[in-house]
Amino acid sequence: MELTVQAQNRKLIGELYLQIKPEIFAIFRQACIAEDKCEDMVHDVFMKLLGIDLILERQLKALAVTIAYQLRTDYFRHRAYVNKVRNDSLWRIEQSYTNTEAEMNDILNTEMKVIHCMSDKDAMVYRMLRFDDKTTDEIAIETGLSKRAVESRIYRTRSMVRERVREVINF
């Protein structure tokens, strides 16, 4: 019984697989690709060969090796692209962090300048709230002011700082 062309091709490719699998594997392994990925790429080579309609037996090995080298090149191009995208993303994040840090320093410097221009009581109330994390009740007790007076000073000093920061930062 005569085999069909497709069956003959599968038989040829199966024999070639057994014969040159280590050689094809070595093409990928020489490029320091992980072994499990090498196995996948070897299978990809032979799957591509199975997709070819007309196979000439004397050229089959050369074709397999050529496909392997092309797959290896594609693999490295893809890795280079992924690394470039990843590095670009990290650079953008780093840049935005640096810009944000600079803006925060500008805001803090402006805030400190405004505090220095406040009356002593206003500056003390603002610092206690902003930097010491005190509540209005705690500030009232420590300063001897009423809670209402503390709230009023907080509102006024925050407004002063906010206004000045907006001017300097151009919000």
What are the tens digits of pLDDT across the range 100-158? 777 788 888 888 888 898 899 999 999 999 889 889 999 999 999 999 999 999 999 98
Contact (CB, 8 A) for 64 and 24: yes
Please indicate, yes or no, whether residues 64 and 134 belong to a single structural domain of this protein: no
Distance CA 143, CA 133 (A): 15
What gap in Å lies between CA 110 and CA 103, rounded to an integer? Answer: 11
Structural domain ending residue among the three candidates 66, 88, 110: 88
CB 41 within 8 A of CB 72: yes
Lowest-pLDDT choice from 11-15, 61-65, 81-85, 146-150:
81-85
Other C-beta atoms within 10 Å of 10: how many? 15
Work out the pLDDT band at 1, boundaries 50, 70, 90.
very low
Total structural domains within the chain = 2
DSSP assignment of 72-92 equals HHHHHHHHHHHHHHHHHHHHH
Residue 160: domain span:
118-169
Q: Are residues 20 and 79 in the same domain?
A: yes
- Amino acid type, 125: V
68 plus 139 within the same structural domain: no
- Compute the average pLDDT of residues 29-48: 89
38 vs 34: CA distance, rounded Å: 6
Q: Which amino acid, 88?
A: D
- 102 located within any domain: no
The answer to pTM > 0.85 is no
Cα-based distances in Å from 28 to 68, 71, 83:
8, 9, 19
> Are residues 22 and 62 located together in one domain of the fold?
yes
Q: Is residue 145 part of a domain?
A: yes
Question: What pLDDT score does 19 carry?
Answer: 92
